[in-house]
């Protein structure tokens, strides 16, 4: 993990972007079966760049990129100056919980990198919901969610046990671990996991203009 001192100071809100190194054949494998590995990797890279670009420098929160595999923290694909941490081992639930347990105090929101419509205004709205709720979710129409946030006060809840990931039950299983908690739902956004959803996306997220802070890795 990044040294704790590097994360102290500034906003006490944490936005974590869960990201895989965008290597061909290692990302968006379900989508790759429909449109090919090269196109799927290109989509992932472009969407990650666009989403991170919108969020990383927003002064209302501190953005951290949690990378996988762990050794990818030294890859040149990440934005210069970004706070990077490894996701560590285990299934997605173990990796998500590890991040929530490790972060310094303050509300935390975790997002993925493959939904083009994620914006700073949506993240800000989710943080506002955490003022009066223990947890907040951004649902997807496939039964999963593009965002999960916890107030993390007075304690950090363990919410990812026995979740059937990448299924129509993902959100419901996670909610089952939050009995008695005050839970809010925010904007529902479309995930892009197959050829149909990719075609439905149209031109959204298909272009990226890299700012100076980014290194091109082609």
Is the pTM higher than 0.85? The answer reads yes
Q: At what angle do helices 120-129 and 37-55 cross, to 10 degrees?
A: 60
For 11-200, the fitting CATH number among 3.40.50.1370, 3.90.550.10, 3.40.640.10, 3.10.580.10 is: 3.90.550.10
pLDDT at 147: 97
Query: What's the pLDDT tens digit per position in 7-28?
Result: 555 568 999 999 999 999 989 9
Q: How many helices (H) and strands (E) does the chain have?
A: 6, 7
Torsion-angle region of 65 (φ positive above 0: left; ψ -120 to 50: alpha; else: beta): beta
Helix (H, G, I), strand (E, B) or coil at 171: helix
User: Taking a C-beta distance cutoff of 8 angstroms, is the pair 213, 81 a contact?
Assistant: yes
Torsion-angle region of 4 (φ positive above 0: left; ψ -120 to 50: alpha; else: beta): alpha
Length of the chain as a residue count:
218
Beta carbons within 8 Å of 206's beta carbon, 6+ residues apart: 46
Query: What's the pLDDT tens digit per position in 85-135?
Result: 999 999 999 999 999 999 999 999 999 988 888 999 999 999 999 999 999
Assigned token pair, 201 = 């996306």
């Amino acid at each position: 993990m990044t040294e704790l001192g590097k994360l102290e100071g500034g906003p006490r809100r944490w936005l974590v972007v869960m990201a895989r190194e965008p290597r061909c054949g290692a990302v968006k494998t379900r989508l790759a079966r429909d449109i090919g590995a090269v196109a799927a990797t290109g989509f992932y890279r472009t969407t990650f760049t666009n989403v991170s670009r919108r969020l990383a420098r927003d002064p209302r929160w501190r953005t951290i990129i949690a990378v996988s595999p762990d050794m990818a923290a030294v890859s040149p694909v990440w934005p210069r100056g970004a706070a990077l941490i490894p996701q560590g081992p285990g299934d997605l639930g173990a990796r998500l919980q590890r991040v929530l347990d490790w972060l310094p105090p303050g509300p935390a929101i975790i997002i993925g990198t493959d939904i083009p419509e994620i914006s700073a205004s949506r993240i800000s709205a989710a943080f506002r919901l955490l003022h009066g709720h223990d947890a907040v979710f951004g649902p997807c129409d496939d039964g999963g969610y593009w965002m999960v946030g916890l107030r993390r006060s007075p304690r950090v809840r363990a919410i990812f046990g026995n979740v059937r990931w990448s299924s129509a039950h993902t959100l419901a299983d996670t909610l089952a671990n939050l009995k008695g908690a005050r839970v809010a739902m925010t904007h529902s956004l479309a995930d892009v996991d197959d050829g149909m959803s990719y075609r439905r996306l149209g031109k959204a997220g298909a272009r990226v203009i890299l700012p100076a802070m980014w290194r091109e890795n082609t």
